[in-house]
Amino acid sequence: MARIEGVRDEEAGFLTKRVFSAAAKQVGAVPDPLRIMAKSRATMWGAGLLQISLDRGQTVPARLKTLACLKAASMIGCVF
């Protein structure tokens, strides 16, 4: 449970709703960190562009990138 209240669906604007629906389609539900990042549009878009650029990178295989992300998340205690 986060200390900061995230953006609810009824508070979200058009583009934020589209980002939420894309995240829900990919993950199954809208992650709380995304709802919190949506409070600052620049932060949400910056994180989104970073994720897109990481996904499009061709130097490292996708399986290895996923494994590295899981390992880093487990080391810092992230639930995602």
Q: Indicate whether 21 belongs to any domain.
A: yes
Q: Indicate whether 57 belongs to any domain.
A: yes
| Alpha-carbon span 27 to 50, nearest angstrom | 17
Tally of domains in the chain: 1
| Alpha-carbon span 68 to 15, nearest angstrom | 30
Confidence band of 1 (pLDDT split at 50, 70, 90): low
Q: Indicate whether 8 belongs to any domain.
A: no
Q: Indicate whether 3 belongs to any domain.
A: no
For residue 45, what are the domain limits?
14-76
| Alpha-carbon span 27 to 36, nearest angstrom | 16
Q: Indicate whether 62 belongs to any domain.
A: yes
Q: Indicate whether 6 belongs to any domain.
A: no
**What pLDDT digit, counting tens, does each position of 39-48 carry?**
998 998 998 8
**What pLDDT digit, counting tens, does each position of 7-29 carry?**
998 999 999 999 999 889 988 99
Q: Indicate whether 2 belongs to any domain.
A: no
